Amino acid sequence: MKVLRDLFRDYRFVASFIILCLLLAYGSLSFFSPYDPTLWATFPRDLPPSPENLLGTDSRGIDIFWGGTFAVRNSMIIALVAGIFSRLITIPVAMLAGYKGGITDRVLMFLSDSFLVIPLFLIIVLLAVLVRDNLNLVTLGLLLACFGWAWDARVIRSEILSLRERGFTQTAVLSGTGTLKLVLKEYMPFVTPLVFATLINVMSWAIGLEITLAILGLVNLNIPTLGTMIYWALSYQAILLGHWYWILTPVILSLLLFIALYWLSVSNSEYLDPRSRIQRVGQAVGTQ
Assigned domain for 90 exists: yes
Assigned domain for 50 exists: no
Assigned domain for 205 exists: yes
Residue 107 belongs to a domain with what CATH number?
1.10.3720.10
Confidence of residue 101 (pLDDT cuts 50, 70, 90): confident
Cα–Cα distance measured from residue 132 to residue 281, given in angstroms and rounded to the nearest whole number: 53
What are the Cα distances from residue 177, in Å, to 37, 97, 144, 174? Answer: 56, 19, 37, 7
Assigned domain for 161 exists: yes
Of the two residues 122 and 251, the one the predictor is more confident about is 251
Instruction: Read off the pLDDT of residues 129-143 as tens digits, 9 standing for 90 and up.
Output: 888 777 888 999 999
Amino acid at 280: R
Whether residue 174 has pLDDT greater than 70? no
Confidence at residue 285, expressed as pLDDT on a 0 to 100 scale: 42
- The answer to whether residues 196 and 269 touch, using CB atoms and an 8 Å cutoff, is yes
Give the residues across from 114 on adjacent strands.
none
* Enclosing domain of residue 281: 22-35+64-287
Cα–Cα distance measured from residue 208 to residue 82, given in angstroms and rounded to the nearest whole number: 12
Q: What is the mean pLDDT of residues 29-38?
A: 88
CB neighbour list of residue 195: distance below 8 Å, 6 or more residues apart: 87, 90, 91, 156
Amino acid at 271: Y
Assigned domain for 48 exists: no
Assigned domain for 77 exists: yes
- Average predicted confidence (pLDDT) for the chain: 84
Tally of residues, the chain: 288
Assigned domain for 269 exists: yes
Q: pTM for the full model?
A: 0.86
Cα–Cα distance measured from residue 187 to residue 225, given in angstroms and rounded to the nearest whole number: 38
Whether residue 159 has pLDDT greater than 50? yes
Confidence at residue 281, expressed as pLDDT on a 0 to 100 scale: 44
Confidence at residue 197, expressed as pLDDT on a 0 to 100 scale: 82
Q: For residue 117, report the phi and psi dihedrals to the nearest 5 degrees.
A: -90, -20
Instruction: Read off the pLDDT of residues 201-240 as tens digits, 9 standing for 90 and up.
Output: 899 999 999 999 999 888 888 899 999 999 999 999 888 8
Comparing 95-104, 162-171, 224-233, which segment has the lowest mean pLDDT?
A: 162-171
Whether residue 147 has pLDDT greater than 60? yes
Assigned domain for 57 exists: no
Task: Label residue 207 exposed, middle or buried (CB < 10 Å: 0-12, 13-18, 19+).
Answer: buried
Confidence at residue 132, expressed as pLDDT on a 0 to 100 scale: 77
Confidence of residue 2 (pLDDT cuts 50, 70, 90): low
Confidence of residue 282 (pLDDT cuts 50, 70, 90): very low
Q: Rank 5-9, 49-53, 100-104, 125-129 by mean pLDDT and report only the highest.
A: 49-53
Cα–Cα distance measured from residue 92 to residue 94, given in angstroms and rounded to the nearest whole number: 6
What are the Cα distances from residue 142, in Å, to 38, 81, 124? Answer: 23, 6, 12
Instruction: Read off the pLDDT of residues 44-92 as tens digits, 9 standing for 90 and up.
Output: 998 899 888 889 999 999 999 999 999 999 999 999 999 999 999 998 8
Count up the domains in the chain and report the number: 1
